[in-house]
Every structure is written in C-alpha cells, then in structure tokens.
Amino acid sequence: MSNPLPLLISSAATRAALSPDEATELATAFKALGDPVRLRLLSLIAAHEGGEACVCDISGAFDLTGPTISHHLKVLRQAGLVTSERRATWVYYRVRRETVALLADVLVPGGTLPSSDCSSDGSELPA
C-alpha cells in the first residue's frame, strides 16, 4: 500500500498554497468523500468503538448490496482515507486520521478561519 497524499505534507506544514500536483492528489481524496455513501461510511467507521469497524457491522446501515458497499470501501481505501485488515472471513476498516487531518488542514489552515480583506458589500470580489 502506498502512503496517502505524500505531497501534502510540505504544504500543510508550511501553510503554503497547494502546488498543481498537490491539488490533483488532494482532489482524489475529496472526490472520494463527495459521495454521500462514502462520507457516511467514513463517519460510521470513525465513530465505531475503538475507531475500527468490521464490514459486517456497517453494511447493515445501508440499503445497498454487499458488492456495492465493498466498492465504496475500496474507493475510500484507494484514496488513502481508510486502511483495511482481513481477519478470517471479515475485513476490518480503520480511518487514517493523519489523512483526514491533512484534508482538514487544507480547508482550515492552522485550525482558524482566514480573515477577509473584502468589504462587507463584496465590492472587492473579482467579476
């Protein structure tokens, strides 16, 4: 398995704007979360006791077939958002918190919302 989002570490650490390569890589993770089923799967896994969930524990929360759930989990795994481990017949998933932290850091660098230099009437916004 490859390390997820390796390019983002430099921008997140330095608070620099994303490079084109970083933006492309980051878009893959955001695209994976752009589907409501995958976003909910990630949430269910993260909220599960111990931060780890068996596919058998989370698949019942959806009115979807097993192969469809497996597809969505595969997309999350390929985007570096979750890891998986097979134990006997079941696969257990865990959220990659470091990847989610990188995504959050890009959205809200340093944990604070940026201030705006625009006037309250929006007159300084580009046309």
d(CA 13, CA 41): 28
Residue 24, domain member (yes or no): yes
Give the pLDDT band of residue 37 (cuts 50, 70, 90): very high
Domain housing 37: 8-107
What is residue 67's predicted lDDT score, i.e. its pLDDT?
93
Residue 116, domain member (yes or no): no
**Number of structural domains found in the chain:** 1
What is residue 93's predicted lDDT score, i.e. its pLDDT?
97
Write out pLDDT tens, residues 77-122.
999 999 999 999 999 999 999 889 888 888 876 655 555 565 555 5
Three-state secondary-structure class, residue 4: coil
Residue 45, domain member (yes or no): yes
State whether the Cα torsion 40-71-59-2 is positive or negative: negative
List the one residue out of 17, 2, 87 whose CA is nearest residue 52. 87
Residue 19, domain member (yes or no): yes
Q: What is the CATH number of the domain that holds 50?
A: 1.10.10.10
What is residue 7's predicted lDDT score, i.e. its pLDDT?
47
Residue 16, domain member (yes or no): yes
Residue 118, domain member (yes or no): no
d(CA 123, CA 40): 38
Residue 112, domain member (yes or no): no
Residue 97, domain member (yes or no): yes
